Amino acid sequence: MVLELREKLQSLLGDDLTIERELGGGGMARVFLAHERELDRRIVIKVILPDVAGAVSAERFKREIQLAAKLQHPHIVPVINAVSAGDLLYYTMPYVDGESLAMRLSRAGAVPVGEAIHILRDSIRALAYAHRHGVVHRDIKPANILLSEDSALVADFGIAKALSDAGGADRGLTTVGLSVGTPAYMAPEQSVGDAVDQRADIYSLGAVAYEMLSGAHVFAGKTAQQVMAAHVMETPAPLQTKAPLVSAALANLVMRCLEKDPNSRPQSADDLLHELDAAVTPSSGTVSVASARGRSRPVAIAASILLALLLLGGGALAFTPKDKLATAMALMRRKPAQLHTNRVIVAPFTNDTGNPKLASLGSMAADWLAQGLSRAGGLEVVDARTAMVTGDVVDKTPWPFRSRDRGKAIAEETGSGILISGTIYQDGDSLRISAKMTDVLSGKVLLVLTPISGPAAAPTKILDALTKRAVANIVQARDPDRVFALGEYSEIPSVEAYDELLKGIEGYFRGDTSGYAHLEKAIAIDSSYPTPVVFLAFSRLYRGDFAIAKKLLARAETLRNVMAPADRAMTDHLEALMRADGSAALAAAQQFMAVTPGSQESPLLLASVALSISRPHTALAALEHVDPDRGLNLAGPFYWTYEAGAYIALGKFRQALDFSRAGVKRFPDERMANSYEESLAALGKWMS
């Protein structure tokens, strides 16, 4: 990939610039050293990686870089220009003859105190100048501090903001699993997606200073996930315990830079420079205004920051957790996903058409392909609604608490060992769909499908062809001797009907009735499409609209032969509830769970039905299939409530209290969980 990127870049640069070698790179860019013939000088070219470049607006990126390029300071490496050519996005800057602070630390360990102070002073001066001109760096780290002779220079000013702002609200870098900045040095408020100012740079420089003086990262020995969490929650070990030769004044200043609360840090780089001068001048009795200012309690600050952890992706849906702190802790501590080698999930396809009329086509492609695989048999197939809900949960779960790749993260949440993913392109009046099958654990691509093409005016025909070809190829690849038939199923609905279905489901999960109109519209657009009928019946019945639900179920019965297995099982369940037939409702819930592998919700449905007809053992058996740290269990206390309810029914009150307390600990605001603990304590049964 690097060789291909280098060749493509060289062809764009022409004869004036010759790439000499690669200097390295990170999660967002590759770095090359080039020789500029006309001026006979070396320059550095940083190429934004394609998956990152694809998520940003090239024009907005270039505008932000132009603003940063105006910074002219002896301790700032200037940006020469930013270029968008073809599918490449890159910027250039002068080559600094020397090494980065990261290289220096790797080569020689801790930096002598005098030299470290010199590097800090130069870096602070660069920050002070940039901050006065309205530019916050956002990615201060040893790799961006360059050492040349007796000076330190800060590189990549404005790059993090350029990438972030160029991402925009609807094409941000979180959609490709990337956050702007380096988690190892990122301020707590930046880690959780809050607005940042110059004090975030001061925190990051504090982390760099700690590493320079001690020879080890402030949270050494932790994984990337643990480091990011530690920046938010943990108080670092005092610097003097790691570097006893550092004066108390300097050590205290570094630790103040690492305060969780931005208000407790030096408030500007100018303040920091003055405090540094005071700290390294023994005769000075200076006490800064910032150091005399009252500070917020660290625990309270950490908690308030963590409350935003699951909101990094934007506005919260109805199932976004109310108790973000406890949920964040669960995410940090949860075990790796248990993958089932025979379970497959079709992730919503990436939609690169740019056509708003086809916005739902990616979800639609995944839905129909999953239905086709389910009908073919031989695999556990995660149904489309489970994939959709899980995708929303994944989107609200920040990296590094999940895999960067969205499809892989969805697969892990559902325990799927096989991932099918794809991309939809539009070339003029034609659509083209590509797809592949990947082993989730190893990352090995197991099968690449020949792309399907067709007229953009007839997307459903293309999806039908995709389903038939993909199912045939996937089944044959896994078992060449198998003979199968897809059987009878409903025709693929129109894109308009499917779009209304998605809006209806979203309305339901927001907890309001706005989805009814969308579901009714989907039914009106395509009367032969069973899913919106079943889902509307489900939502109406569970809101107590029994007369409407009864009519919808009668209509659903006329479509039974073309229903997907999950729709059929749910219809049976709803009809049994309407008849008040508990045993039939339980049997249908068991069938629903069987045809929705990977769902964290279907075992909860089964448990609730079992408890309602006094079958606590059945409820506990269903709950064994639930991972309380995944899926919608991150959003509500149902798992703990049902566990407690089952043990109450069995007279095992100690176990019931344990689960109810665990639910209260995770969701202290939820009355459903609180009621169990309150009732158990009031009855005194937990004492038995």
Residue 461 and residue 43: Cα distance in Å, rounded?
52
Structure tokens at 244: 């006893």
Spatial neighbors of 638 by CB under 8 A, at least 6 apart, are 604, 608, 632, 672
> Helix or strand or coil: residue 424?
strand
Residue 343 and residue 410: Cα distance in Å, rounded?
13
Give me the amino acid identity at 368.
W
CA distances (Å), origin 620, targets 123, 307, 607: 59, 32, 7
> Helix or strand or coil: residue 382?
coil
Residue 674 and residue 679: Cα distance in Å, rounded?
9
In the annotation, is 323 catalytic?
A: no
Residue 511 and residue 458: Cα distance in Å, rounded?
34
* Spatial contact of 92 and 119, defined as CB atoms under 8 Å apart: no
Strand partners, 344: 381, 418
Residue 149 and residue 139: Cα distance in Å, rounded?
23
CB atoms within 10 A of CB 243: 20
Q: In terms of Cα–Cα distance, which of 412, 433, 430, 407 is closest to 51?
A: 407
Edge-to-edge order in the sheet of strand 29-36: 17-25, 29-36, 41-48, 88-94, 81-85
Q: In terms of Cα–Cα distance, which of 388, 410, 395, 371 is closest to 504?
A: 388
Please tell me which residue in 122, 139, 201, 567 is annotated as part of the active site.
139
Q: In terms of Cα–Cα distance, which of 69, 226, 200 is closest to 141?
A: 200
Residue 118 and residue 232: Cα distance in Å, rounded?
29
Q: In terms of Cα–Cα distance, which of 194, 176, 588, 586 is closest to 407?
A: 176
Question: Secondary structure of the chain: what % helix, strand, coil (to 5)?
Answer: 55, 15, 35
CA distances (Å), origin 304, targets 255, 296, 323, 567: 20, 11, 11, 42
* Spatial contact of 95 and 41, defined as CB atoms under 8 Å apart: yes
* Spatial contact of 421 and 349, defined as CB atoms under 8 Å apart: yes
Q: In terms of Cα–Cα distance, which of 633, 632, 688 is closest to 657?
A: 688
* Spatial contact of 669 and 307, defined as CB atoms under 8 Å apart: no
Strand partners, 191: none
- Tokens 């900045």 locate to 181
- The catalytic residues are 139
